[in-house]
Chain A
Amino acid sequence: MSAASRSDLGVKLAGRAEYGVDAELPGMLWAALVPSPVAHGRLRRVDLGPARALPGVVAVGADDLATLLPRGAGDAERPIFPAGEVAYRHQPLAAVAAPTLAEARRAAAVVRVEVEPGPALIDLETAFPDWPGPDGARSPHVIAHVHARHGDVEGAFRTAEHVVEETYRTSSVHQVALEPHACVATVRGDRWTVRTTTQSPFGVREDLSLLLGVPESSVVVEGTWVGGGFGGKGASLLEPYALLLARAAGRPVRLALDYREEFELGRTTLPAVIRVATAVRDRRIVGRRVRLLLDVGASLPGRDFATGYSIGFLLGPYVTPTFEVEGYGIRTNKPPFGPHRAPFAPQCAFVAESHIEEVARVVGVDPVRFRAEHLWREGATTPLGQPVGPFGLAAALERADALARRWRSEAPAGHGVGVGLGFWSTSTGAGGEARLVLSATELRVEQGERGIGSGSVLRGLVAVAERALGLPADRIRIEYLSTAEAPFDSGVYGSRTVGALGRAIVEASDAVRADLAGRMAVAVADVSLAVEGEEIVVHAPGVRRTVRSLLRPDEASRGIVATGRHFAKPNAIDERRVVTGSFYPYTDFTGAAHVAEVSVDRETGAVRVERYAAFQDVGVAVDPATARAQVEGGIAMGLGIALTEEALWSADGRLLNPHLLDYRIPTLGEVPVPEVTFVEGFLGAGPFGAKGLGEPPIIPVPAAVAAAVRDASGAHVTELPLSAERVARTLKLL
């Protein structure tokens, strides 16, 4: 099955796919947000009078919420408009709508805002010049704290032959989905409807219900095509403002960000500082220590999760008999942090891999061999006490190492070759449901989310249904419905679409089979489906019936409906190892080993990626063309984290590079076409043993590039990205 079978290619190539930015309703107004002029301060006054004096302008601010939302807005931690403290620059203080965008922008500009500026905390290290001491968790800047330990880690360090301690720093990266956030809202009576570009229609519905203080049954979210998500379009962002304006105006309202605002308001991965230490005795790791300062910006729910989850990736996929880890989520005056394709995992893998390479060099063991000797295998135990399931990373590393040796033997002077590893676990999210409808001539998958371009919905779910029911792809159609009609699913994120929702598709397919078997009075195992002419036909030994003939009169217009469910996995962490906070339990174990060949300019420090290869543990590749496309795309995005991408803030909280010229993502000439190899047979938790694949391919990239840069130039760079300037400084060229 080639990628060309994706049913969205035609509509997208013809320019007919409606994205969030394209949505338009008759009589709609255009909206703009009124941004905070400072990163931190006390809000004295927001005077909407001058805006309201302009013709056709509707304006809403904190004072209007009581009227517009009679039941009271719901989330004290996430006020729609701040009433007292302003927490970050560009935080929306009010919203306006007008007949044209130009008029809306003018109206936003005349709103009088008075804020008494306060000291802003921007650089997280200034919060803790000497690192958090024993009382670190009590600091007012710390809003999440996790701590875990196991075994006699002090003894391990005391009796070690080698102790290697390092500090790493990682940068803030933006998703850069090319489509900015955009939506159109309508309010009629108590029905709040929003058409929006989102990875999670049901997640946005839940958010809106909470933020607006209205029941979920009153909120309808209609998903458009999504012009890239990468984590940035998971939660609500603009929808509450558009809905409030629509309610105040009594007309539909469109709110979209321009790209500068996309950078300034988007939820991004923020910087972190990581201290790692490893104790070695008899060439074996005997103890690990990790301390993490994670910038979580102006804070949102999820900060505890982010802090705890990162720790696992910082320890890496390596066996360690004793360890102690401590993570602090630091509140700064930046926009709230948010997920970015495998949130923070590529940065963590960069730290874990660069550090283990350093340890191997200090100990005097080949870095690949040292990794292989400590790698998790099936049956091993993670530091947090979870048993490791089928895991293809050792197999992937073996093949990556063989290729790296060949490339190194061929490489010209000035080139270097590096190997980087990463792991991931398919998320189940909050669970969900699949609904299949079998008519006389087609199978429909009724669905709330459209996917984000990866093909996980359009090809992944269709391929699962093909395999589960034996129907060809051209008889399987995804029907997109609003949240009022679609079955609940928690969204396209966490590499969960095929891995988790796919299981629900299999369960629903089994229910279709069982239903058909019942109608034909045959055994379920004997039922098979086929297409004959126009009709879908059900075969069993000695029986052949068209689906049409099996439909009951009340099903004639729709078809046979079947549902399947999937659930979150129970926590498998050994809680005796947890001192405080929560850590992330794995659903399954997905490994990836990457090989990078780079050249380093000995005068400027500029790094060029010459060749690239990925060995990806997939369990089973449900649709190989789509899986390959995920790996290719993940590598390119990872190269951005590795080499160029870094959002920069001034000391007073101004984003210094909010445009694509200075925030550089990789271009066509900077990404080699990679060699992609699937490692199959180490089965995951998904249908037929598949593993989620949206995120794993991005994870090892910065690690592999850093290892290659070190091989090429000797530069052991401990900060991301490996910009020419950083490499040059490390090589003392500057």
Chain B
Amino acid sequence: MTETVAHLTVDGAPADLAGMPDDERLLDTLRWRLGRKGTKEGCRTGDCGACTVLVDGRSTLACLTLTREVDGSDVTTIDGAARDAELSRVTRAFAEAGALQCGYCTPGFVVALAGLLKERGRAAPLEELLDGLQGNLCRCTGYAAIVRGVALAREEAP
């Protein structure tokens, strides 16, 4: 196994990684090398969205991303929600709407929606935002409360 190095910024803090297997996934780096376990491991095959993080502001599945691929990037996770305006906005809206039950898919939904709001803007139509969340699975809520949460996140004053 070849070892590799990577220099990331994770939720505002520098992370200089050395001696890391070169096939290590960003999800495992975040959870087990950096101890940032807010990002959840679901399927590890890109089908559930639970591991969604922002890489340089774009929604990214951490389970399908090699850490060395994002060398030099700025990574934002649910653990950095308080530092990020869109993440904070979505978090408040989801709390208000009660848009979670077991909470396991929640970090993925919050980060994915924050990424959509950054990319498309807060004036993006609700349907467009909901379409953008089809890659995130939730087994508890039946999505109804999540739809209410997305609507609230859009409507909330900046």
Interface of A toward B, CB cutoff 8 Å: 2-4, 6, 8-10, 12-19, 21-22, 102, 175-180, 225-230, 258-259, 452-455, 625, 629, 632-637, 659-661, 665, 667-669, 671, 673-674
Contact = CB atoms under 8 A, between A and B. Distances in A.
Shortest 5 CB-CB distances between A and B: which pairs?
A: A15-B38, A453-B102, A3-B98, A227-B104, A636-B142
Given A15-B107, A667-B134, A659 B43 contact: yes
Contacts of B41: 21, 180
A453 B47 contact: no
Contacts of A3: 97-98, 145
Interface stretch (B2-10, B54-62, B88-96): B88-96
A228 B94 contact: no
Contacts of A18: 37
B91 A13 contact: yes
A633 B140 contact: yes
A671 B104 contact: no
Given A2-B98, A179-B40, A633-B101, A12 B106 contact: yes
A110 to B, nearest CB: 17
A230 B140 CA distance: 9
Interface of B: 21, 31, 36-45, 47-48, 50, 77-79, 81-82, 91, 94-98, 100-107, 110, 130-131, 133-147
A453 B41 CA distance: 17
B156 to A, nearest CB: 14
Contacts of A625: 98
B145 A669 contact: no
B48 A13 contact: no
Task: Find the residue from B98, B101, B104 having the highest chain A CB count within 10 A.
Answer: B101
Contacts of A22: 31, 37
A629 B95 contact: no
A514 to B, nearest CB: 35
Given A629-B101, A660-B137, A14 B81 contact: yes
Most buried by A among B79, B102, B105, B140: B102
Contact of B21 (A6, A102, A179): A102
A21 B40 contact: yes
A661 B47 contact: yes
Nearest to A259: B43
Contact of A258 (B44, B144, B147): B44
Contacts of A671: 142-144
Nearest to B47: A660
8 contacts: A13-B91, A15-B78, A22-B37, A259-B45, A259-B48, A453-B100, A636-B141, A673-B144
A12 B145 CA distance: 16
A660 B43 contact: yes
Contacts of A15: 36-39, 77-79, 81, 107
A453 B101 contact: yes
B24 to A, nearest CB: 10
Given A178-B48, A660-B48, A674-B144, A13 B106 contact: yes
Nearest to A22: B37
Residue among B45, B105, B134, B138 with most chain A CB within 10 A: B138
A668 B134 contact: yes
Contacts of B50: 178
Contact of B42 (A225, A259, A636): A259
B155 to A, nearest CB: 16
A397 B103 CA distance: 34
Contacts of A225: 102-103
Contact of B45 (A17, A661, A667): A661
A239 B78 CA distance: 29
B101 A17 contact: no
B145 A632 contact: yes
A259 B140 contact: no
A178 B130 contact: no
A69 B46 CA distance: 41
B23 to A, nearest CB: 9
B10 to A, nearest CB: 13
Contacts of B102: 177-179, 225-229, 452-453
B142 A634 contact: yes
A373 B135 CA distance: 45
B105 A6 contact: no
Contacts of B43: 259, 659-660
A4 B94 CA distance: 9
Contact of B94 (A13, A229, A632, A667): A13
Contacts of B77: 15
Nearest to B90: A13
Contacts of B130: 668-669
A667 B112 CA distance: 15
A657 to B, nearest CB: 12
A659 B47 contact: yes
Contacts of A452: 102
A668 B139 contact: no
B98 to A, nearest CB: 3
B103 A8 contact: yes
A8 B94 CA distance: 12
Nearest to A625: B98
Contacts of B136: 668
A225 to B, nearest CB: 7
A698 to B, nearest CB: 10
Which of B39, B81, B145 has the largest count of A CB atoms less than 10 A from its CB? B145
A9 B100 contact: yes
A668 B146 contact: yes
A452 B104 CA distance: 11
A454 B94 CA distance: 16
Nearest to A667: B134
B153 to A, nearest CB: 12
A710 B21 CA distance: 56
A269 to B, nearest CB: 15
A8 B37 CA distance: 17
Contacts of A179: 40, 42, 102, 104
A80 to B, nearest CB: 26
A457 to B, nearest CB: 12
Given A4-B98, A13-B100, A225-B103, A668 B147 contact: yes
Contacts of A227: 40, 102-104
B6 to A, nearest CB: 18
Contacts of B21: 102
A499 B81 CA distance: 37
A469 B98 CA distance: 25
Given A9-B100, A226-B102, 10 more contacts: A9-B98, A13-B100, A13-B103, A14-B38, A259-B43, A629-B141, A632-B141, A635-B142, A661-B45, A671-B142
B142 A632 contact: yes
Contacts of B106: 12-13
A175 B102 CA distance: 14
A457 B118 CA distance: 36
Q: Most chain-A CB neighbours within 10 Å: which of B103, B105, B110, B133?
A: B103
Contacts of A9: 94-95, 98, 100
B81 A668 contact: no
Contact of B140 (A13, A228, A668): A228
A633 B139 CA distance: 7
A3 B75 CA distance: 31
A594 to B, nearest CB: 13
Contacts of A258: 44
A667 B145 CA distance: 14
Contacts of A180: 41-42
A665 B143 CA distance: 12
Contact of A669 (B98, B105, B131, B140): B131
Contacts of B139: 175-178, 228, 230, 633, 636-637, 665
Contacts of B135: 667
Contacts of B91: 13-14
